[in-house]
Amino acid sequence: MKDPLILSLSPRLDSTHVGLFRGPAVLLRQELSHRKEDLIRYPRLKDQLGLRVQAVEDLAAEHGFDIDRVECFISTGGILGPVPGGPYVVTRRMVEVLERESFGHHVSNLGGLLVMELSMRHPMGIPLVGDPVSTDELLPEAKLSGTGVIERHPVFHALSQRSAARLGALRLGKDYRCCRMVVAHLGVGISVGAHRDGLVIEVNDALMGEGPMSLHRAGGLPVLGLIEMVFSGRYDLEELSEMITRKGGLVRHLGVDSPREVDSLLRKGDERALLVFEAFVSSVVKEIAARASVLEGIVDMIVITGPLASWDSLVSRLEERCRWIAPVMVIKGQDELADLAVCASSVLSGVEEARSLG
């Protein structure tokens, strides 16, 4: 029986990543860049839908593959509210949630809208999204905060973490549903999850600022200090948001925002760079160790994945600092489009059942 034809999509702020797969084999991979002057005409994400769908259809025409023969359109899952992990079929209910941004604003919300529109135009393909970023399998005690008002519902790299965890389970020769692992996704944002018996029972909220600092993000902050900044009158909302989410972390301290530039400063013996780099490493290590504590110290493996898993000087320090907890497995070259294709194949083959919001 021939493997199904699957089109994987990953919307970014100024591009759409597209991969065409025949089962696990990649047939085409392309990053479709969208001009800023085109995107600026659509201030709301959902209004960009037509532009992005047309770009995908133009790509199909350019490369001569029949998009009408695609059996599944799958994309990254957006902020759907607190839901269990796994693949989801895109329904009218999901479209409403994503269009209204009922639980939050994020570019991943475009994913479900894109595959739904493509499925309506090319009805042989069923519309799916992978593990939503709002996957919530937290233990009840992990959701409570000391305010009595704020409850935790994390947003994190659920698809990446789950895919990496399954690869880790294969390395161990065990079923993922019988493993206890800590998985760290290192990217623009960083999320570290405690995986137990197939569920992510604790993870930081990578969207709302919990967890380690990163190249661009400030990470967890002393709360009263942040409140003082807010009411100091020295910063407006945009400046504070940038300091925390886009111009914080290593770029705030060092003025550089790439591993190559940081490594260059480290090789020169820049004392400030050495200090900031170690603070960065420590913030990630502490998050990993915190997740290990949730697993009561019984950890089969620590898995490091994401774009920064290829940053050798960072990963080597993390391995040095974490190997006392458990063996460390590093997955370089994280492939979100391939992860989505695997997810779609598992649904099409009947191995996994897609959930529904209704």
| pLDDT at position 1 over 80 | no
pLDDT confidence tier of residue 45, bands split at 50, 70 and 90: confident
Mean pLDDT to the nearest integer, 94-105: 94
pLDDT tens-place string over residues 284-335: 999 999 999 999 999 999 999 999 999 999 999 999 999 999 999 999 977 9
Task: Name the domain count of the chain.
Answer: 2
| pLDDT at position 41 over 80 | yes
Residues 164 and 308 both lie in one domain: yes
pLDDT number for residue 169:
97
Residue 358 lies in a domain: no
Instruction: Record the tokens describing residue 72, joined without a space.
Output: 């599944």
Instruction: Determine the Cα–Cα distance for residues 211 and 120; give it in Å rounded to an integer.
Output: 40
pLDDT tens-place string over residues 207-220: 888 999 999 999 99
User: Is the alpha carbon torsion for 120, 122, 124, 126 positive or negative?
Assistant: negative
Mean pLDDT to the nearest integer, 14-38: 94
Residue 357 lies in a domain: no
pLDDT number for residue 348:
96
Average pLDDT score, the chain: 95
Residues 105 and 78 both lie in one domain: yes
Residues 256 and 158 both lie in one domain: yes
Three-class secondary structure of residue 129 per DSSP = strand
pLDDT number for residue 142:
96
pLDDT number for residue 99:
95
Query: At 302, which CATH number?
Result: 3.30.420.40
Global pTM exceeds 0.75:
yes
Write out the residue range of the structural domain in which residue 154 sits: 140-326
Q: Name residue 85's amino acid.
A: G
Residues 23 and 147 both lie in one domain: no
- Helix or strand run (H / E) with residue 72: strand 72-77
DSSP string, 3-35: PPEEEEEEE-SSEEEEEEEETTEEEEEEEEE--
- Helix or strand run (H / E) with residue 213: none
Instruction: Determine the Cα–Cα distance for residues 111 and 28; give it in Å rounded to an integer.
Output: 19
| pLDDT at position 198 over 80 | yes
Residues 100 and 29 both lie in one domain: yes
